[in-house]
């Protein structure tokens, strides 16, 4: 299975993240799975005319293209011309190359939230008219249009995340290579369900603080970051706290809130990222499937039952009070 990887309006961070994969030999592992990078801008030897020839051969159909991976948003501006990103050495806008190549690819994969939904490149007034391959924020469409299907009959596979976790990309490619990735493997926003069916909240090391609504008040506090610090872990679709980043990390274990970087529109939350918007003192972004009244009632109850240890530690940067040793009679 050959893979052509292009970068457009993004930061290259999804590639850099991929290279952090926790395996002693990433290239050999992919090769063994039958995955061959036809061209990748950070890794391949071919430069200039040689690379352009290869792209042209794929675009014309002279060379079969199994997977087109696009990293970065598609920059349609100014005025639909695509001139905010010209593919160097070709005098042509990247959006034209991507349209042609996507028309030939058996599978089309958006790597990262930029390529999936527009991401940070589409933030603010979006002067570059940035969008995703098949989405513009959470609206279906994007560069290729809502009707687009790749050769396999699937819509664009959105491996969203800013950046994506290396495993999300690798496991998607492996599943494609095995022929085991069908429509049922994608959620309503085109994301692979193997990671998008989880919430960042699952497995968060701050869960005990969450249970008692013992909240962090400032950066470096240990408490739950939902109430005051803008954390969206209860709503963000991703398995960040079940699948470590860089061997042992996650946003919430790194001391800062989840900003729901796998979601369309995360770049413009409508409030400062590190603040929780509230109405009448109650956060508006509650856990997605919990009735508000229940949440309020349970929060009041659990707050009143918060052990001193949990309450004190929540606003400290290290555990000030340790759990007590108690003779339990259990062996």
Partner 1 sequence: MSRQILGPFNRVEGDLEVSLESEAGRVTAAWVNSPMYRGFEQILVGKAPSDALVMVPRICGICSVSQSVAAAAALADASGARMPPNGERAVNLMLATENLADHLTHFYLFFMPDFAREAYAGQPWFDDIAARFKAVRGAATAEALAARARFFRIMGLLAGKWPHTLSIHAGGSARAVGPTERVRLLSMVREFRAWLERHLFGDRLEAVTAIDSLEALWAWADTAGPAASDLGRFLQLCRALDLGALGQAPGVPRYLSHGNYPVDGVPGFARGVWDADAAAVTPFDAADVAEDIAHAWLAGSATARHPLEGQTHPDADKADAYSWCKAPRWRGHTVQCGALSRQVVDGHPLARDLVMQGGGNVMSRVIGRLLEIARVVPLMEQWLRALAPGEPFHVPTTLPDEACGTGLVEAARGALGHWLVVRRGRIHNYQIIAPTTWNFSPRDASGVPGALEQALVDTPVGAGDTMPVAVQHVVRSFDPCMVCTVH
Q: Which is nearer to partner 1, 74 or 174 (CB)?
A: 74
Identify the residue among 11, 175, 185, 286 touching partner 1 (CB under 8 A): 11
Tokens representing residue 157 in the block: 């596979």
> Does the protein bind ligand SF4 through residue 11 (CB under 6 A)?
yes
Per-position DSSP letters for 152-212, written without gaps between them: TS---EEE--SS--HHHHHHHHHHHHTT---GGGB-TTS-BHHHHTSBTTTT-TTHHHHHT
> Does the protein bind ligand SF4 through residue 196 (CB under 6 A)?
no
Tokens representing residue 186 in the block: 């994608």
Query: Which residue ranges are tagged as binding site?
Result: 11, 14, 114, 162, 201, 204, 224, 231, 240, 258, 261
From CA 177, how far away is CA 102, in angstroms rounded? 18
Output the smallest distance, CB 256 to partner 1, in A. 4
Task: Tell me which residues in 59-88 interact with ligand SF4 (CB under 6 A).
Answer: 71-72
Task: Tell me which residues in 267-306 interact with partner 1 (CB under 8 A).
Answer: 267, 272-275
Partner from partner 1, ligand SF4, none contacting 262, C-beta within 5 to 8 A by type: ligand SF4
> Does the protein bind partner 1 through residue 43 (CB under 8 A)?
yes
Contact indicator for 21, 167 with CB cutoff of 8 Å: yes
> Does the protein bind ligand SF4 through residue 14 (CB under 6 A)?
yes
> Does the protein bind ligand SF4 through residue 156 (CB under 6 A)?
no
| H-run or E-run covering 131 | strand 130-131
> Does the protein bind partner 1 through residue 15 (CB under 8 A)?
yes
Identify the residue among 120, 122, 199, 224 touching ligand SF4 (CB under 6 A): 120
| H-run or E-run covering 107 | strand 107-111
Output the smallest distance, CB 195 to ligand SF4, in A. 10
Task: Tell me which residues in 218-247 interact with partner 1 (CB under 8 A).
Answer: 218-220, 244-247
Instruction: Say how many CA atoms lie within 13 Å of 95 toward its Cβ.
Output: 25
Identify the residue among 318, 326, 327, 331 touching partner 1 (CB under 8 A): 318
**Chain CA centroid to CA 109, Å:** 13
Output the smallest distance, CB 234 to partner 1, in A. 18
Output the smallest distance, CB 47 to partner 1, in A. 5
Q: What's the Cα-to-Cα distance from 76 to each of 85, 86, 92, 93, 95, rounded to whole Å?
A: 8, 11, 12, 9, 7
Contact indicator for 225, 252 with CB cutoff of 8 Å: yes
């Amino acid at each position: 299975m050959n893979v052509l990887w292009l970068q457009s309006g993004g930061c290259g961070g999804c590639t850099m993240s991929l290279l952090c994969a926790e395996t002693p030999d990433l290239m050999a592992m992919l090769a063994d799975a039958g995955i061959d990078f036809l061209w990748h801008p950070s890794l391949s030897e071919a430069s200039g005319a040689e690379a352009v020839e290869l792209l042209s051969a794929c675009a014309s159909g002279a060379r079969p293209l199994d997977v087109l991976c696009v990293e970065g948003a598609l920059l349609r501006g100014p005025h639909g011309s695509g001139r905010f990103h010209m593919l160097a050495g070709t005098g042509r806008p990247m959006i034209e190359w991507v349209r042609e190549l996507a028309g030939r690819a058996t599978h089309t994969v958006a790597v990262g939230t930029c390529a999936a939904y527009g991401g940070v490149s589409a933030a603010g007034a979006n002067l570059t008219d940035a969008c995703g391959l098949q989405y513009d924020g959470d609206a279906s469409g994007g560069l290729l249009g809502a009707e687009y299907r790749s050769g396999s009959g699937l819509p664009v596979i959105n491996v969203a995340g800013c950046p994506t976790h290396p495993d999300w990309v690798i496991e998607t490619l492996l599943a494609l290579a095995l022929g085991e990735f069908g429509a049922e493997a994608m959620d309503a926003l085109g994301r692979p369900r193997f990671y998008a069916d989880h919430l960042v909240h699952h497995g968060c090391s701050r869960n005990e603080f969450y249970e008692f609504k013992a909240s962090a008040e400032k950066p470096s506090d240990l408490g739950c970051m939902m109430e005051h610090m803008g954390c969206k872990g209860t709503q963000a679709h991703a398995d960040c706290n079940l699948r470590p980043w860089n061997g042992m990390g996650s946003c919430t274990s790194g001391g800062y809130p989840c900003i729901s970087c796998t979601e369309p529109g995360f770049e413009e939350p409508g409030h400062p990222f590190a603040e929780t918007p509230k109405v009448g003192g109650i956060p508006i972004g509650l856990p997605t499937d919990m009735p508000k009244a229940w949440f309020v009632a349970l929060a009041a109850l659990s707050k009143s039952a918060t052990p001193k240890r949990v309450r004190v530690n929540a606003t400290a940067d290290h555990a000030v009070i340790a759990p007590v040793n108690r003779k339990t009679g259990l062996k």
